[in-house]
Structure 1
Amino acid sequence: MSPEMQRTYDVRVKEFVPLLPPQALKEEIPISWTAGDTVIAGRKAIERILHKEDPRLLVITGPCSIHNEEEALEYAERLNALREAVSETLCIVMRVYFEKPRTNVGWKGMINDPYMDGSCDIVEGLRRARRLLLKITEMGMPTATEMLDPISPQYIAGLVCWSAIGARTTESQTHREMASGLSMPVGFKNCTDGGLTTAVNAMIAAGSPQSFLGIDADGRSAVVKTTGNQYAHIVLRGGRRPNYDSVSIREAVDQLRAKNLLEAIIVDCSHANSSKKYQNQARVWQDCINQRLDGNDAIVGLMLESNLREGNQKLTDDPCRLAYGVSITDACISWETTEALIRSAHEQLLRSRRGNSGDAALSGNGRYKVAVTA
């Protein structure tokens, strides 16, 4: 029998495509002093908010996924101007998501398939992702993304201020270990059924030292030893029912307190909390703002899925025919709605802090009405 007939490895592997080492991409697209300052300041601000040393509300907003760099940069420019205008009450970070988990099949995001044609040029995807993150952070705009592939952080994490671990990967030991070594605060989403135990256990694991297999900056296989991430926290995204209401928030705080974990909660206004209807994000947003105005400091942040234009569209065989500024994954609220929500929250929080109602319209319970529609 020939050696080939005895082959027991890589039986279903079509080919291996060489991947440039992380250090090579960092040298090709180096981080600038300006971008570095943005990342460091952004991470520090988020850390202070999580520890309630900064009274501002963290706002993570942006497209469900990035598929067009021009659109992303336009959104970033608008958001950066808004960030500066409301910086007294809100700390705004832009969602710049390059990786999308799939229940079965579908487009996996810019890193995996940058040309959106199934060619899966991952090397080009990593280049585009790093280049875009660099441009956005050079504006002074902090960034957030979901870390899905355990290798990709070596290529882009140095330009990210906040990271999420999704509902479907929060239970993964691989992602908990990865999070333990990430340089930025990491939010674990509750699992899709709405239970919090998985996310709480993930926070404990990520906050502990870990040893696992990975790659180093030169692309070599290595044993990665971490110190643990003390800024792991929970993100409520709903489940079989929404979980942004005050009772759900209190239940989450009780579970976190029982395990001596950060009593800091970020509420995802999309996904199951909005019943997967983008128009409902405004309702979730205002409910959480009302809770903050009532003195609930457990809610330290809110997430929005937002794009230049509302809704979403299907990815077709011809990406050139896609409508500009419209999501190709989850449906998003428009820029106009996003700006209205953020400015309204800023005014409400600012007036509450100053104890001056001014000429704003007050609701019967003393909270400000949000005059926006999705």
Structure 2
Amino acid sequence: MSQTANLHIASNVALPSPRSMVAEIAPTEAQTAFMAQSRREIREIIFGSDSRFLVVLGPCSIHDPEAGLEYARKLAALSKELSDRLCIVMRVYFEKPRTTVGWKGLIMDPRLDGSCDIPAGLKLARKILRDVLDLGLPTATELLDPITPQYIADLISWSAIGARTTESQTHRQMASGLSMPLGFKNGTFGHISPAVNAIKAGMQPQTFLGVSEDGVASAVTTSGNPDCHIILRGGEDGPNFGADDVQETIDALEAAKLKPAIMIDASHGNCAKDHRRMPDVFREIVRQRVAGQKAIIGAMLESNLVAGNQKFPQPLDQLTRGQSITDACIDWETTESLLRETHRVLG
């Protein structure tokens, strides 16, 4: 009999169950309390009574845990100083969507050598998230694989669905069951309608194929996530951080009977993938907020210890510490200056 299944499968290795991994690397009572508090504060900034400006920033992706935690310590100290006007959330991104191929993030390849030890990557991600929470920093990530949330979502304060996956039914369904506030980015060409439709879908109850806490394929039914909002990140058709783009987005959200809560990403298409433009884009976002555009609830930045990015793969001992191996970032000095400036003008 001819074989018709698994013709191109080289291996299929079972993962530890989400329940066992969460129990092995469990959050402390203090971490759990901080997680609940940070989600509540972010939710109130997006939809409620907290007037602070939400800033989600940090490395494009975490590839060096020690350098990532050095960045986190710097950001935590600055966050405490500026917390009366800014709510600062650190990007702790472990999954990277690739246009073709490339390094797919710390969860998929934690040793950066192509060995793809996913169980080790999941454990490392949980440890890093706990370390960041211990510093008093809320955490943010992009959830790419629909199985990943079962392993790390209890340690995430805010999450994003990226431009490549905003139109994915699988990711809209996943979002409907997540416990944290979540932003949908506009599509890769810059169109906002896919994100508006995604918000409407994510807020609704859904039933879909998923994985249980015991790692068993299951039918998951959700109640819907009421805390979904839009993120403008530009696209192939150009940037969309200007006042006219914001008003167009407000009109689209209100036409869909959704609250006009808009976060704007100063990186990606809005800076034409040139990190040197990012600070001025961020300043324009803040300028609109100061001028009275309260629908802008926050902004995003890609920031690291060292500016720019570096080619990868290359020998690990030749990598520049604290510099991105994915998208180019602004450096820490620029980041600190920009956040202090923002704090002043928001006063």
TM range (shorter): over 0.9
CA distance in 2, matches of 1:279, 1:143: 25
Counterpart in the other structure of 2:268: 271
Deviation at 1:139, TM superposition (A): 1.4
Residue type matched to 2:229 in 1?
A: H
Q: Is the 8 A contact 1:117 1:317 kept in 2?
A: no
The answer to whether the aligner puts 1:314 opposite 2:314 as a matched pair is no
Deviation at 1:317, TM superposition (A): 3.6
Counterpart in the other structure of 1:282: 279
Selected match of 2:112 from 110, 116, 121 = 116
- Spell out, residue by residue over 1:20-72, the C-alpha distance to the aligned partner (whole angstroms, 9 max, x if none): 00011111101011211221111001100111410000000000000011011
Residue type matched to 1:145 in 2?
A: T
The answer to whether the aligner puts 1:295 opposite 2:284 as a matched pair is no
Q: Is the 8 A contact 1:64 1:306 kept in 2?
A: yes
Counterpart in the other structure of 1:156: 152
CA distance in 2, matches of 1:33, 1:320: 38
Deviation at 1:316, TM superposition (A): 2.8
Alignment RMSD? 0.8
The size of the alignment, in residue pairs, is 346
Deviation at 1:123, TM superposition (A): 0.6
Counterpart in the other structure of 1:325: 322
- Spell out, residue by residue over 1:324-366, the C-alpha distance to the aligned partner (whole angstroms, 9 max, x if none): 000000000000000001011101111xxxxxxxxxxxxxxxx
Counterpart in the other structure of 1:220: 216
Counterpart in the other structure of 1:366: none
Query: What does 1:9-20 align with in structure 2 at a 5 Å threshold?
Result: 9-20=5-16
The answer to whether the aligner puts 1:349 opposite 2:334 as a matched pair is no
CA distance in 1, matches of 2:262, 2:22: 33
Q: Is the 8 A contact 1:188 1:235 kept in 2?
A: yes
Selected match of 2:166 from 170, 186, 190 = 170
CA distance in 2, matches of 1:175, 1:272: 22
Counterpart in the other structure of 1:192: 188
- Spell out, residue by residue over 1:237-279, the C-alpha distance to the aligned partner (whole angstroms, 9 max, x if none): 0121111111100000000000111210000000010011001
What is the DSSP-based 3-state SS (H/G/I as helix, E as strand, rest coil) of the residue aligned with 2:299? strand
Deviation at 1:320, TM superposition (A): 2.4
Selected match of 2:175 from 174, 179, 197 = 179
Counterpart in the other structure of 1:99: 95
CA distance in 1, matches of 2:29, 2:316: 35
The answer to whether the aligner puts 1:7 opposite 2:3 as a matched pair is yes
Higher mean C-alpha deviation, range 145-154 or range 308-317: 308-317
Selected match of 1:40 from 33, 36, 39 = 36
Query: What does 1:66-105 align with in structure 2 at a 5 Å threshold?
Result: 66-105=62-101
Counterpart in the other structure of 2:256: 259
CA distance in 2, matches of 1:45, 1:74: 25
CA distance in 2, matches of 1:199, 1:102: 20
CA distance in 2, matches of 1:136, 1:241: 34
CA distance in 1, matches of 2:11, 2:273: 38
What's the TM-score once normalised by structure 1's chain length?
0.91
What's the TM-score once normalised by structure 2's chain length?
0.98
Report runs of 4+ in structure 1 exceeding 2 Å deviation: none
Selected match of 2:227 from 221, 226, 231 = 231
Deviation at 1:233, TM superposition (A): 0.5
Higher mean C-alpha deviation, range 63-72 or range 318-327: 318-327
Deviation at 1:318, TM superposition (A): 1.5
Q: Is the 8 A contact 1:50 1:262 kept in 2?
A: no
Deviation at 1:10, TM superposition (A): 1.3
CA distance in 2, matches of 1:316, 1:255: 42
Which runs of no fewer than 5 residues in structure 1 stay unpaired?
351-374
Residue type matched to 1:309 in 2?
A: V
Counterpart in the other structure of 1:357: none
Identity %, equivalent residues: 51
